[in-house]
Chains A and B, each alone.
Chain A
Amino acid sequence: MAASVAKSRGLAGLLVQAALVVIVLALPLALDPYGYPLFVATQLGVYVIAAIGLNLLAGYAGQVSLGHGAFIAIGAYATALLTVDQGWSFWLAALAGVALSALMGVLMALPSFRLSTWYFAFITLAFAQVFEKMIVEWRGLTRGFAGVVGVQPPSVFGHVLEPAGVYWLVAIIAIIGFWLVNNLVHSRFGRGFVAVRDAPAAAQAAGASPARLKLLAFVIAACFAGVAGAFFAVQKTVVTPDDFTAEFSIFFLLTVVLGGLGTRWGPVVGALVFFLVPELLTGLESWRMMVYGAALLALMLFAPHGLVGAARSLFDRLRPKQAGQTTQPAETVQPQGAHVERPAISGLALEVKDLRKSFGGVVALGGVDLSVAPGTCAAIVGPNGSGKTTLLNVVGAYYRRDAGAVLLGGRETKGLSPQQIAGEGLGRTFQTPRLLGELTVLDNVLLGAFRRERASLPGTMLRLPGAMAEAERLRAEAMELLAFVGVADRADDLASETPHGHQRLVEIARALMGGARLIMLDEPAAGLSMTELDRLEQLIRRILALGATVVIVEHHLDLVASIASHVTVLDRGVVLASGAPQAVFADAAVMAAYMGERALNEQASDQLSDEAAGEVARPRPVPAKGA
């Protein structure tokens, strides 16, 4: 029933899109072939092309470029100079412009993408400022303020295009660009972009390299800017430095923010609205930057997803809500998933030897040893601040170790990045679930398969059969895993609207989706109700039954005692005791030494400790520090 509704809505959407394409392509028939409206319509198309690229970069991948105008300028100048001065054909010149734009993008992006997002914003801003100066400085090449004059329209099959022809060309490229980016956004790359934006650690856990994804987004955006620049030159026939001031870049930023960052139609809507507004603003010319600034500020504060986002939330509010769809508490959903058959997993052994890690003067790990046999469950317990999570982070290479050895399946992992280690079969969950709130539960699980998916970038963007078949296969597998962890009925819900207990299960499904052979669970029971706790325990047992290795950090000693075959007690970064759970927990001296009297009371009042644990696991601000 729900599926058929979705299908009919999809069909309606398709019809609307087809109608839009027809209108866009039929427009010149209604306009004066040499008139101003057609000129403006062509310009709009050029801006939409650039905005689509910027939206991919700033909206989906979360990398704000403040100098996008410079990349358009590169495309425009390359096209103008190569056609006018060198007599190249438009197509070759445009290609060179796009390549140059992408190349400059790579050069600038390389240093900044290892760092926080705002470095990139600064670098692009600086680049635009420098480029503006250089256009004037290299006047021998660029002709300075006079600009390059007389750029000819492209020829197709020997015919020089009329304005209407240029319009059609631009419109078709904009439509294809829209389609390509839309395909990309709904692929593993798109999920990777959103992960880089919202939860870089989750991207790494899924085996995706944030730096590479950012670079990819930027190169694509720069290519779009280059294409837009080429047509900018053709459409204006003159290219001057005045076209590419700082204002030009701000204009594009405002276009995508206005339409809606990270929304499909945002760049189109933004450009469209922006083209209507300046006509109204001509009297306010000298106030323009003030208006831009105020608009950016107001939009970011009150409509962070722009006009498209505002329209969507209005639509959602007006639509009658299906009762209890999102408010249903986790426990009433029963499917246990025990019936779901999964292929066996060949568990990985973990061997940690004399692992050391200090933060400044604080010793977080002071020589920890840990040995986990394949297919077994090892638990790490200890008071807060004893180094449990640090241990997981060092094993996963989220922190660089100071000394010691970590062997995964017998292989030393030194020098590998978190995403490479994930690729070796190490999966993990986080103390605070790191789900992508704006994606569906199913998409979150699919993120896990990032490294497994083989389809190429062109295959994905063009929806080639091989890529589609693979995506379909993985989708089916993700559904199966959701059923396995028992939340299949939530597949299409937004992750942000899913109850906390389910989020933890989704994270486990994501780790399994990545082909994890060793799963590290960081306080999976924190904040769970008794029912949810039972389900978690059953799930871990079933994962163990498949053959995977499980390392669990947990305060819940009942859970630990029941599922772990080996317990390691950490205290202030050193191993206090380790062995079979019965032996370790029976050792009153150990208990008293590391938790004092409280430990004994805690076991008596699980419910209380549950809440305390939930309290500790509150989301913590994690500044995006070039992780």
Chain B
Amino acid sequence: MDIDILARGLVAGSLYALVAVSFNILYRPTNVFNFAQGELVMLGAMVFASLATVLGWPWYAALIVTLLGVGLLTLLIDVVAVAPVLARSQHGTGWVITTLAASLIIANGVNRIWGPDPIVVRPPAPLTTDTFSLAGMTVSAYQIFLVLLTIILVLAIEQVYRTRQGKAVLAVAEDREAALLRGVNPLRLSHWSFFLGGAFAGLTGVLAAPVLYASTGLGPALLLKGFAAAAVGSIGNNRGALIAGYLIGVTEALGAALLSPGYQEAVVFLLVLCVLLVWPHGLFGRPFARTV
């Protein structure tokens, strides 16, 4: 068997882990799992590609504008589509439908603006997508960078949760009212979480663009594989998401190699179903029980 499968799996897995982390950032204080997240990643890739490749902006300027833009759009989703639904009923799942609606609107809008043709995005120098051979695997400098950066990002985010602000986030996730009594404003925190979760989705899109090309069709697949990584790695657990991302990436690459590329999704789906059947709360622990 081809050892390249491992390389492909790790690269794809890194991207799935990043999507899962963007879910988690948004989920932890709000308990909302944003169904528009896949399209936000896609939007990040498209905006960055347009600014950097088509308009020729320097990569850092394009990056900043992309993160701000996608973050603000996600904030808008919170204000328009999520907060009003949650204000009506805390335990309802109306937000499933409203964030899905946001996803449809973004997907259709982006498709109309950019059209179906993918845009090639080159990573900033000295990184390249030129491949070379490393320990029997065909890899590029950018792929190595992507895998390493993902690990660094996940570890850095875990550090942030240890700070005062980070603990506030966890406190709100635990008990919204109690956090309120201690001077944490849950609504503001939830706006921030949407902004940051969205910006991180945008970043994921930027990082994915050189590997996958920027295309309007990226959304649905990344949404589901990001969900898969988040669910298998236990929702809210970023390190779990990282490991689950690799697991899913490699499984998918194996499925594609052994069966046929058409089976990629099916293999991932089966993996998620089996994991959830045995470990309903994912491989890395269960959240606190909260009932009455």
For chain B, residues 228 to 269, give those with C-beta under 8 angstroms from any C-beta of chain A.
228, 231, 260, 262-263, 265-266, 269
CB pair B105 A294 closer than 8 Å: yes
Known contacts A112-B276, A123-B273, A398-B292: A118-B93 contact under CB 8 Å: yes
- Tell me if A588 counts as interface (CB < 8 A to partner B): no
Known contacts A137-B260, A297-B81, A304-B88: A111-B101 contact under CB 8 Å: no
Q: Mark A282-309, 1 if CB is under 8 A from B, else 0.
A: 0000111110111111001100100000
- Tell me if B107 counts as interface (CB < 8 A to partner A): yes
Q: Give, as a whole number of angstroms, the nearest-CB distance from A549 to chain B.
A: 20
Known contacts A112-B276, A301-B98: A627-B175 contact under CB 8 Å: no
Chain A residues with Cβ below 8 Å from B228 are 126
- Tell me if A274 counts as interface (CB < 8 A to partner B): no
Known contacts A201-B291, A297-B105, A393-B292: A119-B276 contact under CB 8 Å: yes
With CB as the reference atom, state the residue of chain B lying closest to A431. B292
Q: Mark B75-111, 1 if CB is under 8 A from A, else 0.
A: 0000011001100101111101110111111011100
- Tell me if A417 counts as interface (CB < 8 A to partner B): no
Chain A residues with Cβ below 8 Å from B291 are 201, 393, 398-399, 622, 627
- Tell me if A618 counts as interface (CB < 8 A to partner B): yes
Cα distance, A66 to B99, chains bound together (Å)? 12
With CB as the reference atom, state the residue of chain B lying closest to A63. B93
Known contacts A114-B280, A129-B224: A623-B101 contact under CB 8 Å: no
For chain B, residues 266 to 292, give those with C-beta under 8 angstroms from any C-beta of chain A.
266, 269, 272-273, 276-277, 280-281, 287-292
- Tell me if A39 counts as interface (CB < 8 A to partner B): no
- Tell me if A184 counts as interface (CB < 8 A to partner B): no
Known contacts A62-B93, A110-B277, A287-B108: A129-B265 contact under CB 8 Å: yes
Chain B residues with Cβ below 8 Å from A112 are 276
Q: Give, as a whole number of angstroms, the nearest-CB distance from B167 to chain A.
A: 13
Known contacts A201-B291, A257-B97: A621-B90 contact under CB 8 Å: yes
Q: Mark A112-130, 1 if CB is under 8 A from B, else 0.
A: 1011011101110111011
- Tell me if A253 counts as interface (CB < 8 A to partner B): yes
DSSP class of B's interface residues: helix, strand, loop or mixed?
Answer: helix
For chain A, residues 327 to 346, give those with C-beta under 8 angstroms from any C-beta of chain B.
none
Q: Give, as a whole number of angstroms, the nearest-CB distance from A362 to chain B.
A: 10
Q: Please tell me which one of the listed residues A115, A290, A434 contacts residue B276 in the complex, with CB atoms under 8 A apart.
A: A115
Chain A residues with Cβ below 8 Å from B93 are 62, 64, 117-118, 121, 624
Q: Give, as a whole number of angstroms, the nearest-CB distance from B234 to chain A.
A: 11
CB pair B109 A290 closer than 8 Å: yes
CB pair A293 B103 closer than 8 Å: yes
Chain A residues with Cβ below 8 Å from B117 are none
CB pair A621 B98 closer than 8 Å: no
Cα distance, A293 to B39, chains bound together (Å)? 13
CB pair B277 A133 closer than 8 Å: no
For chain A, residues 570 to 627, give those with C-beta under 8 angstroms from any C-beta of chain B.
618-627
CB pair B277 A111 closer than 8 Å: yes
CB pair B280 A296 closer than 8 Å: no
Cα distance, A434 to B265, chains bound together (Å)? 41
CB pair A133 B292 closer than 8 Å: no
- Tell me if A60 counts as interface (CB < 8 A to partner B): no
Chain B residues with Cβ below 8 Å from A66 are 96, 100
Chain A residues with Cβ below 8 Å from B290 are 622-623, 625
With CB as the reference atom, state the residue of chain A lying closest to B88. A304
CB pair A290 B105 closer than 8 Å: yes
CB pair A296 B176 closer than 8 Å: no
Q: Give, as a whole number of angstroms, the nearest-CB distance from A62 to chain B.
A: 7
With CB as the reference atom, state the residue of chain A lying closest to B176. A621
Chain B residues with Cβ below 8 Å from A201 are 291-292
Cα distance, A333 to B218, chains bound together (Å)? 62
Cα distance, A534 to B175, chains bound together (Å)? 34
CB pair B288 A121 closer than 8 Å: no
Cα distance, A121 to B97, chains bound together (Å)? 9
For chain A, residues 354 to 406, give those with C-beta under 8 angstroms from any C-beta of chain B.
359-360, 389, 393, 398-400
Cα distance, A123 to B103, chains bound together (Å)? 17
Q: Please tell me which one of the listed residues B33, B105, B262 contacts residue A137 in the complex, with CB atoms under 8 A apart.
A: B262
- Tell me if B53 counts as interface (CB < 8 A to partner A): no
CB pair B269 A626 closer than 8 Å: no
Cα distance, A294 to B102, chains bound together (Å)? 8
Chain B residues with Cβ below 8 Å from A627 are 289, 291
DSSP class of A's interface residues: helix, strand, loop or mixed?
Answer: helix
CB pair B102 A111 closer than 8 Å: no
CB pair B289 A111 closer than 8 Å: no
- Tell me if B31 counts as interface (CB < 8 A to partner A): yes
CB pair B292 A118 closer than 8 Å: no
CB pair A300 B289 closer than 8 Å: no
Q: Mark A241-267, 1 if CB is under 8 A from B, else 0.
A: 000001000100100010000000000
- Tell me if A134 counts as interface (CB < 8 A to partner B): yes
Chain A residues with Cβ below 8 Å from B276 are 111-112, 115, 119
Q: Give, as a whole number of angstroms, the nearest-CB distance from A223 to chain B.
A: 21
With CB as the reference atom, state the residue of chain B lying closest to A296. B101
Known contacts A119-B231, A301-B81: A620-B98 contact under CB 8 Å: no
- Tell me if B220 counts as interface (CB < 8 A to partner A): yes
Known contacts A64-B93, A118-B96, A626-B280: A400-B177 contact under CB 8 Å: no
Cα distance, A112 to B84, chains bound together (Å)? 27
Q: Please tell me which one of the listed residues B85, B107, B266, B287 contacts residue A301 in the complex, with CB atoms under 8 A apart.
A: B85
Cα distance, A398 to B266, chains bound together (Å)? 36
Cα distance, A134 to B260, chains bound together (Å)? 11
Cα distance, A430 to B289, chains bound together (Å)? 17
CB pair B266 A130 closer than 8 Å: yes
Cα distance, A112 to B228, chains bound together (Å)? 13
Chain B residues with Cβ below 8 Å from A289 are 104-105, 107-108
Q: Give, as a whole number of angstroms, the nearest-CB distance from A70 to chain B.
A: 12
Most buried by B among A129, A360, A434: A129
- Tell me if B213 counts as interface (CB < 8 A to partner A): no
CB pair A622 B88 closer than 8 Å: no
Known contacts A62-B93, A398-B292: A300-B85 contact under CB 8 Å: yes
CB pair A297 B176 closer than 8 Å: no
Known contacts A253-B97, A625-B290: A620-B277 contact under CB 8 Å: no
With CB as the reference atom, state the residue of chain B lying closest to A291. B108
Cα distance, A621 to B85, chains bound together (Å)? 13
CB pair B280 A111 closer than 8 Å: yes
- Tell me if A462 counts as interface (CB < 8 A to partner B): no
CB pair A296 B98 closer than 8 Å: yes
- Tell me if B182 counts as interface (CB < 8 A to partner A): no
- Tell me if A561 counts as interface (CB < 8 A to partner B): no
Chain B residues with Cβ below 8 Å from A126 are 224, 227-228, 265, 269, 272
With CB as the reference atom, state the residue of chain B lying closest to A357. B289
- Tell me if A172 counts as interface (CB < 8 A to partner B): no
- Tell me if B164 counts as interface (CB < 8 A to partner A): no
CB pair B96 A250 closer than 8 Å: no
Known contacts A398-B292, A399-B291, A622-B290: A133-B108 contact under CB 8 Å: no
- Tell me if A108 counts as interface (CB < 8 A to partner B): yes
CB<8 Å pairs between A and B, sample of 22: A121-B100, A126-B227, A126-B272, A129-B220, A253-B97, A289-B105, A289-B107, A290-B104, A290-B105, A293-B100, A293-B101, A293-B104, A297-B81, A301-B80, A359-B289, A360-B288, A393-B292, A522-B292, A620-B177, A622-B91, A622-B291, A623-B31
Given contacts A115-B281, A133-B266, A290-B104, 16 further A-B contacts (CB under 8 A): A64-B93, A66-B96, A110-B277, A111-B276, A126-B228, A289-B108, A292-B101, A293-B104, A297-B98, A297-B101, A301-B80, A304-B94, A434-B292, A622-B292, A624-B93, A625-B290
**Shortest beta-carbon contacts, A-B, top 10:** A293-B104, A111-B276, A621-B90, A296-B101, A137-B262, A290-B108, A293-B105, A297-B101, A289-B108, A623-B31
Query: Chain A: residues with CB nearer than 8 A to chain B?
Result: 62, 64, 66, 107-108, 110-112, 114-115, 117-119, 121-123, 125-127, 129-130, 133-134, 136-137, 198, 201, 246, 250, 253, 257, 286-290, 292-297, 300-301, 304, 359-360, 389, 393, 398-400, 430-431, 434, 522, 618-627
